[in-house]
Structure 1
Amino acid sequence: MEERTRMPLDTATRYGLVVMALAQGWLLYFLHLAMDQRFWPATDVTWLVALYTVIVGVPAFFYLGLEKLKDARNLIAAGLLTPLLFGLGWHLGWLTSGSRSSGTVEFGFFFGSSIGMALFILALYFRSWSFNERLTFRYSQLLEYSWQQAQTIAMVGLFILAFWLLLLIWAMLFKVIGIEFFADLFGEPLFIYPVTALVGGWGLVLNRERIRLMVTIRVVCEALIRALLPLAALITVLFLAALPFTGLDAIWDTGRAALLMMVLTVVVLFFFNAVLTDDPDHPDYPAWLRRFVLFGILLLPINSLLAAWALGLRIDQYGLTVDRLIASVLQLLIAAFTLTYAVIIPWCRRRALCGIRTANQWLALLVAAILILIHTPFADLRHWSAQSQVNRLISGRVTPEAFDYRYLRFELGQYGRDALEALGQSDFAKNHPVVGLRIETVSTLDNRWQDLPDIKADDLSAIRRVVEVTPEGALVPDSLLRRFIDDAPGCLTWKQHCRLVRVEDAVPGPQWWGLTVQSYPPGRVYEARDDDWLQIGTVSGRTCAKAMVLRLKDGVQLKRVPGSRFVYGDGECFYRIDADDAYLRSLSAR
Structure 2
Amino acid sequence: MSKAERSWIIAWAALQGIGLWLLHEWLLSLPGTGPYLSVIWPLYAGVIILPSTLMLLSKYRQDKYLWIMVTGFTLLISAAASYTGYQAWVVDLPLHRTGQAGFLLGAMAFISWFVLLPFAEHQLSQGNWCSNYSLLFASAWRNCVKLALAAVFTGVFWILLFLLAGLFKVLNVALFMDLFTSRIFAYPVTAIVFGIGISLYAAKEEALVGIYRASLNILGWLLPMVSFILILFLLALPFQGLTLLWKTGYATSLILVLLACTIFLFNAAWQDASGEQRFPRWLLRFIGIGLLAMPVYIALCAYSLGLRVSQYGWTVDRVWAALVVVLAAIYALGYAWVVLKRQAVWMAGVRQVNILAALSVVVLLLLTLTPVLDPVRLSVNSQVARLMSGKLAAYDFDFEYLRLNGKRYGNAVLQQLSKNTIHPDAVLIQQKAEAALTVEYRTFTSSEGKEHQLTQEQLFKQWRPYPRGTELDAEFVDYLLDNPSVRPTCSEAEPCPVLSVDLDGDGRNEWIMLMSYIGKIYSIENGRWSLAGSLYGDGIYNLMENRFPAQAAILTRPARWKELWIGDVRLYSNDN
| Post-superposition CA distance 1:116-157 (Å, at most 9, x none) | 111111111001111224555300110111111111222112
What's the secondary structure of 2:344's corresponding residue? helix
| Post-superposition CA distance 1:508-534 (Å, at most 9, x none) | xxxxxxxxxx966989xxxxxxxxxxx
Check conservation: 1:234, 1:296, Cα contact below 8 A. Answer: yes
Q: Distance in 2 between matches of 1:35 and 1:208?
A: 37
Equivalenced residue count is 461
Is 1:299 aligned to 2:279, yes or no? Answer: no
Q: Distance in 2 between matches of 1:401 and 1:281?
A: 64
Q: Distance in 2 between matches of 1:289 and 1:371?
A: 36
1:78 maps to which residue?
A: 70
Identity rate, percent: 30
1:385-424 alignment, distance < 5 Å: 385-424=379-418
| Residue 58 (structure 1) shift | 2.6
> Residue 308 of structure 1: which of 292, 302, 306 is its match?
302
Q: Distance in 2 between matches of 1:415 and 1:326?
A: 18
1:217-232 alignment, distance < 5 Å: 217-232=211-226
Q: Distance in 1 between matches of 2:360 and 2:377?
A: 22
2:561 maps to which residue?
A: none
Return closer, same or farther for 1:451/1:226 CA change in 2, 3 Å cut-off.
closer
What amino acid is aligned across from residue 153 of structure 1 in structure 2?
L
Q: Distance in 2 between matches of 1:23 and 1:374?
A: 30
2:329 maps to which residue?
A: 335
| Post-superposition CA distance 1:249-290 (Å, at most 9, x none) | 122123311111111101111211232279697332011111
Q: Distance in 1 between matches of 2:272 and 2:168?
A: 59
Is 1:427 aligned to 2:421, yes or no? Answer: yes
What amino acid is aligned across from residue 163 of structure 2 in structure 1?
I
TM-score between the two structures when normalised by the length of structure 2: 0.74
| Residue 39 (structure 1) shift | 6.5
1:237 maps to which residue?
A: 231
Check conservation: 1:31, 1:42, Cα contact below 8 A. Answer: no
| Residue 226 (structure 1) shift | 1.7
| Residue 404 (structure 1) shift | 1.5
2:7 maps to which residue?
A: 15
Return closer, same or farther for 1:277/1:497 CA change in 2, 3 Å cut-off.
closer
Check conservation: 1:408, 1:416, Cα contact below 8 A. Answer: yes
Check conservation: 1:304, 1:331, Cα contact below 8 A. Answer: yes
2:488 maps to which residue?
A: none
| Residue 187 (structure 1) shift | 1.6
1:28 maps to which residue?
A: 20
Q: Distance in 2 between matches of 1:441 and 1:221?
A: 57
2:537 maps to which residue?
A: none
| Residue 412 (structure 1) shift | 2.4
Is 1:56 aligned to 2:48, yes or no? Answer: yes
Q: Distance in 1 between matches of 2:8 and 2:109?
A: 24
| Post-superposition CA distance 1:28-60 (Å, at most 9, x none) | 111111222217988622111111122222333
2:111 maps to which residue?
A: 117
Greater Cα offset, 69-78 or 166-175: 166-175
| Residue 344 (structure 1) shift | 2.2
1:449-468 alignment, distance < 5 Å: 449-450=442-443
Return closer, same or farther for 1:338/1:281 CA change in 2, 3 Å cut-off.
closer
Check conservation: 2:119, 2:130, Cα contact below 8 A. Answer: no
Check conservation: 1:255, 1:314, Cα contact below 8 A. Answer: no
| Post-superposition CA distance 1:74-95 (Å, at most 9, x none) | 1111231122112111101111
Check conservation: 1:277, 1:284, Cα contact below 8 A. Answer: no
Greater Cα offset, 326-335 or 373-382: 373-382
| Residue 497 (structure 1) shift | 4.7
1:205 maps to which residue?
A: 199
1:214 maps to which residue?
A: 208
Return closer, same or farther for 1:270/1:175 CA change in 2, 3 Å cut-off.
same
What amino acid is aligned across from residue 269 of structure 2 in structure 1?
V
2:552 maps to which residue?
A: none
Is 1:145 aligned to 2:139, yes or no? Answer: yes
Runs of 4+ that moved beyond 4 A: 39-43, 133-136, 277-281, 493-499, 518-523
Return closer, same or farther for 1:47/1:411 CA change in 2, 3 Å cut-off.
same
What's the secondary structure of 1:378's corresponding residue? coil
Is 1:383 aligned to 2:377, yes or no? Answer: yes
| Post-superposition CA distance 1:383-411 (Å, at most 9, x none) | 11110111122223332222112221122
What amino acid is aligned across from residue 373 of structure 1 in structure 2?
L
| Residue 375 (structure 1) shift | 0.9
1:259 maps to which residue?
A: 253
Q: Distance in 2 between matches of 1:238 and 1:63?
A: 47
1:567 maps to which residue?
A: none
Check conservation: 1:386, 1:408, Cα contact below 8 A. Answer: yes
What's the secondary structure of 1:445's corresponding residue? coil
1:164-203 alignment, distance < 5 Å: 164-203=158-197
What amino acid is aligned across from residue 383 of structure 2 in structure 1?
Q
1:577 maps to which residue?
A: none
1:67 maps to which residue?
A: 59
Q: Distance in 2 between matches of 1:107 and 1:242?
A: 41
What's the secondary structure of 1:354's corresponding residue? coil
Check conservation: 2:17, 2:190, Cα contact below 8 A. Answer: yes
Check conservation: 2:228, 2:290, Cα contact below 8 A. Answer: yes
Is 1:95 aligned to 2:95, yes or no? Answer: no
Q: Distance in 2 between matches of 1:103 and 1:316?
A: 29
What amino acid is aligned across from residue 30 of structure 1 in structure 2?
L
Q: Distance in 1 between matches of 2:169 and 2:323?
A: 51
TM-score between the two structures when normalised by the length of structure 1: 0.72
Unmatched 5+ residue regions in structure 2?
Answer: 456-476, 483-491, 493-576
> Residue 439 of structure 1: which of 429, 433, 439 is its match?
433
Return closer, same or farther for 1:171/1:316 CA change in 2, 3 Å cut-off.
farther
What amino acid is aligned across from residue 367 of structure 1 in structure 2?
V
| Residue 370 (structure 1) shift | 1.4
Check conservation: 2:224, 2:287, Cα contact below 8 A. Answer: yes
Return closer, same or farther for 1:427/1:348 CA change in 2, 3 Å cut-off.
farther
| Residue 429 (structure 1) shift | 5.9
What amino acid is aligned across from residue 324 of structure 2 in structure 1?
L
Q: Distance in 2 between matches of 1:90 and 1:376?
A: 10
Q: Distance in 2 between matches of 1:375 and 1:195?
A: 32
| Residue 423 (structure 1) shift | 2.1
Check conservation: 1:10, 1:68, Cα contact below 8 A. Answer: no
Check conservation: 1:62, 1:123, Cα contact below 8 A. Answer: no
Return closer, same or farther for 1:184/1:280 CA change in 2, 3 Å cut-off.
closer
Q: Distance in 1 between matches of 2:353 and 2:411?
A: 41
Check conservation: 2:394, 2:429, Cα contact below 8 A. Answer: yes
| Residue 11 (structure 1) shift | 3.3
Check conservation: 2:12, 2:54, Cα contact below 8 A. Answer: no
Q: Distance in 2 between matches of 1:227 and 1:406?
A: 50
Check conservation: 2:227, 2:262, Cα contact below 8 A. Answer: yes
Rg comparison, structure with higher value: 1
What's the secondary structure of 2:59's corresponding residue? coil
1:570-589 alignment, distance < 5 Å: none
Check conservation: 1:35, 1:42, Cα contact below 8 A. Answer: no
Greater Cα offset, 435-444 or 34-43: 34-43
What's the secondary structure of 2:349's corresponding residue? helix
Root-mean-square deviation (CA, aligned residues, Å) is 2.9
Check conservation: 1:139, 1:357, Cα contact below 8 A. Answer: yes
Greater Cα offset, 294-303 or 156-165: 156-165
Check conservation: 1:277, 1:353, Cα contact below 8 A. Answer: no
| Residue 312 (structure 1) shift | 2.1
Check conservation: 1:41, 1:47, Cα contact below 8 A. Answer: no
2:533 maps to which residue?
A: none
Check conservation: 1:118, 1:368, Cα contact below 8 A. Answer: yes
Q: Distance in 2 between matches of 1:95 and 1:65?
A: 33
